[in-house]
Amino acid sequence: MSKYSTPSERFYTSEPIGYVENTIRQRLVEMINEIIKEEGLPFERADVDVEKKLPDGQSRRFPDIVIWKSVRIKPVCHIELKDPTQGWTPYDWELINDAQAKANLPPTSPFFATWNVNELVLWKTYEEATSWEEKRKSRYEFVKIKDLREMDDPEIQKKIKEGLRKFLKELVEFLEGKKELPTLPIDEFFIYSLRNIVDASYYPIALEVRKKSKEDKEFRERLIEWFVSQGWNAPIIDDIEPFEKVARQFLYLLLNKVMFYNTLRRNFPSLEPIKLEEGIEDGELLKKELQKYFDEAEKTTKDFEAIFGFDFLERVPIPKSIVPSLRSFINGFSKYDFSKLGYKDVGHIFDRLIPDEERHKLGQYFTNPDVVDIINTFCIKSPNAKIADFGCGAGTFLVRAYARIKYLSPYRSHKEIVKQLIGVDISKFAAHLTMINLAARDLSTIENPIVICKDFFDIKVSKFKEWKEFMKILAEGIGKENIKVEVPDELDAVVGNPPYTRQEELDAYVENYKEKLQQTLKEDWGEDIKLSKRAGIYAYFFIHGLRFLKNGGRFGYITSNAWLDVDYGKHLQEFFLKHCKIVAIIETKERVFPDADINTVITILEKCGDENERNNNLVKFVKIKVPLKELIPDDEKERFKFLEDFVKKVENAKEL
């Protein structure tokens, strides 16, 4: 068995022979020329490094690749090629400008392209558009290589050649006027460009994180703590995948900050555009300079510490090799006038920055909205409801709670709704995503959502009406000494998808954590709460969370179904029967957790202090046999109407 986790890792770390951009450029031109002959395309050939002189007759520019209709007389397309392993993307502003400048030199070319091997973007050279974002363009995705030596892989070569074949055939159609370059909505352009810089930069960062964890004991200890706090197992040095997760989270966090900073400039014109100087070649210096802008945003807005604040994830090292490309991308991105974007467009960018396939991998942060809306419809009965998610992840439950309240009370303002929602998460990444996703519901007004970056079990309430410690933590969480927020005496609803981590996994890396959890429950309820030794942390979320709920309030979680087991869940079942009515237990076909071995159920509880009511309650067991997406409408109004009817049927059912 290979000692390397992936082919890319072997290429990246061990081979004595490496490739540079020039080597790959020649190979790609050979592929292009092969396709021209095979398909009989109306191009003479493609060349590399063609010299083009500037009007002064002295200065020279060299397009990486030129596709000719007639050699030296009529170019069709100039292509600028960049090495993806150095963090370059086809959406880089400097690269686009350079490519068009070369295409404009005589003999001029009607099209130009920017390409980093993995993805090519074709542009029209002459177009009356004010910015690159608005120009017509066509995207071509080829592969996702992390090292140029992967070009030796026959399967990679095949995919690139297939992609080039499609590109060249369409280029003929564009040239002959049979087809027009498509328009790409501006928000889609930003989504693709942001995703691309993540794809181009994460692997070098992952290798750097692993290297630092080998060499720096303190960093490794902090890294392990961070992994456990996410509900993940501690990373193994020989496995690159966990370090890739860290790198991608770091990049999403960084880019979200840059995006949010630029969005704030619409409302706060005194905030300067981000401009990182050419002399910045070191990753730590780049982060330091960026943080100056973020600190100024906090100071100017007097808000958003949860978004711009600094924690362990920002200690992730940026390798020197990708600093120029990252600096160039951020500078170019920040030149755009975000006032031209509609608020819905900006919200759409935040919503879709992280691709669906990655949301599945980050299952503890992102929960299927269909599952979320079922839980919220059971639990949120009034537009005045005060709602909390104590392990809020990316904020899906709170964002959909926002939509639910808006459905129940269409004219309720953004400012009013965000005051009804409380999010808590130990993860800075999660708190950051929640804060942004809630703020993005209405960017026409600046309102700081209540999101606390703390361990939920550090938030203790000895009595429902004593929120002093909670208020203190809230103030610390969003960076204020004093804060005026109408925090409810008790909550109307607690919803969420708590972490799945087993006790033994926590105890292995966090000393005495089990004792901390048990002590918290004892303080909550004035008695020792027994739980199975194998109980996951979600069981503690149930019991601690119920302490915040008012009598008659609803509690809805999607969790492992293990608590239904007679042995494993006996004590939790007894606790529920002592304090709640179990409204419904719902099983769906959806796999909520990335681990396919974990079966899940939706549990709906209603806190009830009346023993007779609890004893006379009929528990509804529901099994939904079709995928939720086939059952629940997409339209917002139809969606909630359908779900309300569904909830009524379940609640009013008298027999199986």
| Beta carbons within 10 angstroms of residue 31's beta carbon | 17
- pLDDT digits over 227-253, tens only? 877 767 778 888 898 899 899 989 998
Q: Tell me the C-alpha distance between 533 and 522, whole Å.
A: 16
Pull the structure tokens for residue 573. 């079942």
CB atoms within 10 A of CB 555: 25
Single out the residue of 193, 214, 433 nearest to residue 313, CA to CA. 433
What sign results for the dihedral spanned by CA atoms 440, 446, 448, 449? negative
CA-nearest of 521, 538, 92 to 530 is 521
The Cα-based distances of 396 to 344, 368, 559, 570 in angstroms read 17, 8, 15, 30
Pairing of strands 450-452, 421-424: parallel
| Contact status, residue 569 vs residue 532, Cβ threshold 8 Å | yes
Q: Give 406: exposed, middle or buried? Use CB within 10 Å, 0-12, 13-18, 19+.
A: middle
DSSP string, 161-223: HHHHHHHHHHHHHHHTTSS-PPP--HHHHHHHHHHHHHHHHHHHHHHHHHHHHHH-HHHHHHH
Return the sign of the alpha-carbon dihedral for residues 546, 548, 554, 556.
Answer: negative
Residue 122 three-state SS: strand
94 φ/ψ angles, rounded to the nearest 5 degrees: -65, -40
Residues of the chain with pLDDT under 50: 1-5, 11, 463-469, 471-473, 475, 477-479, 481-483, 596
Alpha-carbon dihedral angle through residues 477, 479, 480, 483, given to the nearest 10 degrees: -40
The CATH number given to 7-184 is 3.90.1570.30
Q: Which residue from 600, 599, 542 is spatially nearest to 573, judged by alpha carbons?
A: 542
Q: Nearest Cα to 485, choosing from 397, 404, 422, 398? A: 422
Q: pLDDT value at position 136?
A: 82
Strands (E), 28-94: 45-48, 52-53, 60-61, 65-70, 74-81
Fold of 361-650: Rossmann fold (3.40.50)
Helical spans, DSSP H, in 89-185: 93-104, 154-175
In the chain, domain spans: 7-184, 197-353, 361-650
Q: What angle do CA 166, 82, 173 make, to 5 degrees?
A: 25
Q: Where are the alpha helices (DSSP H) in 40-85?
A: none
DSSP code string of 475-488: HHHTT-SS------
pLDDT tens, 7-51? Answer: 555 545 555 556 777 889 999 999 999 999 999 999 999 999 777
